[in-house]
Structure 1
């Protein structure tokens, strides 16, 4: 006799809640960048990006796109990798020198968003997702999905930093 969990949908609802929280946060950040591309570009230039206008546009697109995909539960490991990459760039360029706590501009928040994204990749997007609709929810093991999200995200961040970022000189 097969035993059923008392609330079989609770894990799927938890995944949906996590996806909505992380994805919604990314969408909000992307929209914020997009509403003020000129100001965002000035900020990217001030922190050392060589093509700040391009960085501002790409930041808005990647944050809105990855956030939307996370909320929808679409290609979750790749969507999570985009979030990890974005947060890794933020950690490296802005937050790491300030220590851990967000109250001192540290990397607490960006690290947390990255960790939750990797966990979502491992857990899978669940029943209420595009991945489930198209049969991608069972591709790969949880460990491989997490490794893909973390590895691809960090690799993308390193490539972006190598191509476009130079640490500003200390005045």
Structure 2
């Protein structure tokens, strides 16, 4: 496997740190919000077609908070980024896709950008100021393989979650007619 360069310029390190900070804190904030309002979050998941809404609320809070913390620390970066992509895949399909592109209309713009940022971070690597770098894990995947792993695992986990737990309310209503 190709090794990443050991040294990058200060600008590249700052960019990685900023990307980790923005993405990690965003995921943590969403996870904490879900954790603080589990009953309300479960009710919302029920209203958008999730069959096990209480489980979905707890899982969402745990995955978002954990993935965000790992991204912030630069630990298990491709896997944390994949968890982020999976979460955003579920959000895109279950909530945002039917509303078009722009976030101002609850569209998929925001989740697509966060998901893309997660894949980009996996490809770039977490940088020198990270747990992965400290443990030497940053050298095990080439940028292309890290991006591919993140994308495939993220999309597969999101698709699996949707297949197991979600039914589009519009489709379900059409079947009832």
Superposed pair shares fold, TM > 0.5: yes
CA deviation digits over 1:82-138, x for unaligned, max 9? Answer: 000000000000000011100010000000000000000000000000000100111
1:42 and 2:43 matched? yes
| Structure 2 portions without partners, runs of 5+ | 1-6
C-alpha distance in 2, partners of 1:14/1:111?
A: 20
Q: Displacement, 1:146?
A: 0.2
C-alpha distance in 1, partners of 2:139/2:119?
A: 16
C-alpha distance in 2, partners of 1:77/1:87?
A: 15
Paired residue for 1:12?
13
Paired residue for 2:111?
110
Runs of 4+ in 1 over 6 A off after TM superposition: none
| Structure 1 portions without partners, runs of 5+ | none
Paired residue for 2:73?
72
Q: How many residue pairs were aligned? A: 166
Superposition TM-score, scaled by structure 2 size: 0.91
C-alpha distance in 1, partners of 2:48/2:24?
A: 25
1:89 and 2:56 matched? no
Paired residue for 1:58?
59
C-alpha distance in 1, partners of 2:92/2:64?
A: 15
Q: SS at 1:78's partner residue? A: helix
Q: Displacement, 1:139?
A: 1.2
Q: Displacement, 1:170?
A: 4.3
Paired residue for 2:124?
123
Q: Displacement, 1:8?
A: 2.3
Paired residue for 2:4?
none
